């Protein structure tokens, strides 16, 4: 059950942010980073399962995920849930919610997370005073849309094995760009129910397909870490071409 418990703490100054050294992100000028620092209102620590943004929330802030994993979702009145996409360190969190009058979705912490929080009322200042950063925010919004497009393609056209393979290779590539992959192994905190909710499959079908792919030697999982044993085969199953991820802005 998600909660809204949170704890403020002193975060790392933006100019010393370790995420800025990762190959996943574009360089910024010191002036741009100082402006981002001036916008930041706090550094939040939330436990796994906590609500970062609640559906219908009218005062949602804008966040950058500093550490941990989260996911964006929509729920139906009967409790069924569709996970729209997963969020990793450096991802912008809550752009739609901060621009709309009320959040049309929810965002939940998948693991313990740390968040750089920016008040929604300052987002307009960014568009007025720092056009280069406002363009980057629009770019990040388009990137998130492309991730959802990929997930929708899986749900609509790929079979169960291809859906799982597509998600694994996508998360592996994103984690690798953040320096979170070692010998094709990375932290994998997703439950099978969360996999099912992301891939539009029943829990039973997800479990059976997961076990089949594991027996086939595509991956191994132990101690909360997943290892891709044959990344090229997994990518071919997912119908994804080999390509480098484009460095992206970090707000």
Q: For the chain, how far is it from start to end, CA to CA, in angstroms?
A: 30
Whole-number Cα distances in Å, 53 to 8, 72, 93, 129, 154: 16, 9, 9, 27, 26
- Conformation bin of residue 68: beta by default, left when phi > 0, alpha when psi is -120 to 50: left
pLDDT at 1: 45
DSSP string, 61-84: -EEEEEES-EEEEEE-TTS-EEEE
Q: Using CB atoms within 10 A of its CB, is residue 215 exposed (0-12), middle (13-18) or buried (19+)? A: exposed
Cβ-Cβ contacts under 8 Å for 99 (sequence gap 6 or more): 120, 123
Would you say the pTM of this structure is higher than 0.95? no
pLDDT of the chain along its 251 residues, tens only?
A: 455 455 655 677 888 999 999 988 999 889 889 999 988 889 999 999 999 999 888 888 889 999 999 999 999 999 899 999 999 999 999 887 666 667 888 999 999 999 999 888 777 777 788 888 888 888 888 888 888 888 888 888 899 999 999 899 889 989 999 999 999 999 999 999 999 999 999 999 999 999 999 999 999 999 999 999 988 878 777 776 556 678 888 98
According to DSSP, the residues that pair with 44 across neighbouring strands are 8, 115
Cβ-Cβ contacts under 8 Å for 4 (sequence gap 6 or more): 50, 51, 54
Q: By the 8 A CB rule, do 20 and 57 touch?
A: no
- What is the tens place of the pLDDT at every residue in 143-187? 888 888 888 888 888 999 999 998 998 899 899 999 999 999 999
């Amino acid at each position: 059950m998600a909660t809204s418990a949170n704890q403020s703490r002193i975060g790392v100054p933006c100019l010393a942010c370790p995420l800025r050294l990762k190959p996943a992100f574009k360089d910024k000028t010191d002036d741009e980073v100082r402006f981002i620092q001036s916008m930041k209102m706090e550094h939040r620590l939330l436990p796994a399962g906590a609500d970062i943004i609640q559906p219908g929330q009218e005062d949602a802030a804008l966040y950058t995920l500093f550490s941990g994993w989260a996911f964006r979702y929509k729920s139906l009145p009967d409790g069924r849930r569709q996970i729209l996409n997963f969020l990793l360190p450096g991802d912008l969190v809550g752009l739609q919610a901060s621009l709309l009058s009320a959040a049309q979705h929810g965002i939940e912490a998948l693991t313990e997370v740390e968040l750089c929080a920016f008040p929604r009322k300052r987002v307009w200042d960014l568009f007025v005073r720092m056009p280069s950063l406002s363009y980057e925010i629009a770019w990040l919004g388009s990137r998130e849309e492309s991730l959802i497009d990929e997930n929708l393609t899986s749900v609509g056209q790929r079979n169960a094995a291809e859906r799982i393979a597509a998600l694994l290779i996508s998360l592996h590539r994103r984690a690798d760009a953040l320096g979170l992959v070692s010998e094709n192994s990375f932290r994998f905190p997703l439950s099978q129910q969360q996999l099912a909710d992301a891939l539009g499959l029943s829990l039973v079908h997800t479990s059976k397909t997961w076990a089949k792919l594991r027996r086939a030697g595509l991956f191994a999982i132990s101690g909360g870490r997943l290892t891709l044993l044959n990344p090229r085969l997994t990518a071919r199953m997912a119908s994804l071409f080999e390509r480098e991820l484009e460095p992206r802005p970090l707000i």
